[in-house]
Amino acid sequence: MCKWRVISPTSSATGRGGEAEGKRERRRMGLLSNRVERSEIKAGDHIYTWRAFYTYSHHGIYVGGHKVVHFTRKKETSASTDSSSISTSKPELLSTCPTFPDCGFQHRNSGVILSCLDCFLDKGSLYSFEYGVPSSVFLSRVRGGTCTTANSDPPETVIHRAMYLLQNGFGNYDLFENNCEDFTLYCKTGLLPIDDQGVGRSGQASSAIGIPLAAILSSPFKLLMAGPVGMATITAGMYCAGRYVTDIGVRRDVVKIAVEDLSVNMGWTEDEQSSISAAFEQKT
C-alpha cells in the first residue's frame, strides 16, 4: 500500500529556506553526503575535496576570505642544505592564481600553504568534515576521513592554530603518520598522540591500513566461518572496529598541546617530551 506524503501549507510556505535547513540537519545527522555549497562554510571549518576519482581526499582549514590553510609535501628546492637553512624563514609565492596575489604563500622548508578556495578544490567538489558525531554515525560511514567523534574547538582558536602553523610549519609530511588530515584535525582539536604506533590521527590513513590488516587478522576465522560471506562479515566488522578505535575522539593516547609548544620540525626535545608525558599522566 502506497503512503502519500502530505505537504502542509506551512511547509510549502517555507520554500527553499526550509528545505536547505532540513538538508543541513540531515547532513549533520550523517544521513546525506557531507557535500556543501560555498555559501554554507564558515571561517574555522574543516573542509576537504576528493581527488583522483575519489581515490583520496585533501583536507584544509577554511580561514575566511576565500582562503584555505592546508598541509602538503614540502616544495623541492635546488639550493644546498646549508643555503636553504639560511633562508628557511623567507616565504615564497609560487602561485599562478590570477585572482588572489597571496595564493600559494608558503615558507621555505614548510609544507603548510595558504591557497584560495578555487585552487584548493582544483575543480573538485566541496565537502565539510563533521565533528562530535555519535558513534553510530561514525560507524555507518563506509569511508574514513569524513567525520570524528571528537569535538571541535571554537573557530577563533582553530584559525589561530592554522595561521600559526602557516608561519612555523608542521613538520615533515608523512602519508600515514602526519598528513593533511592530521594537520587539520590538530587545528580543530589541539590533540596529538604521544604513542609511537605508526598511525596518526587521520581516519583516511586508518582506513588504508585497516583494510589489509582486517583481512590478515581475520584469517584464523576460516576454520570457524564457511564460505566467503562469513569471511566478508568478519573482515568488514574488524575494519569498522579498527577505524573506530583509531579515531582521535576515542583514542586514550592523545593530549591537548598548545600550538606555540609545537617545535617547527615536530621533533620533541627531552623537556618537551617530559611535559607532554606529564600532561598525559594528569589526563589519565
Query: Which are the catalytic amino acids?
Result: 58, 70, 180
Question: Which residues are CB-neighbours of 178 under 8 A, at least 6 positions away?
Answer: 170, 171, 172, 200, 266
Q: How many CB atoms lie within 10 A of CB 199?
A: 18
Asked if residue 114 lies in contact with residue 104, where contact means CB atoms within 8 angstroms, the answer is: yes
d(CA 204, CA 46): 14
Tell me the backbone φ, ψ of residue 271, rounded to 5 degrees: -65, -40
HEC readout, 173-197? CECCCECHHHHHHHHHHCEEECCCC
Given the C-alpha cell 500500500, which residue does it identify? 1
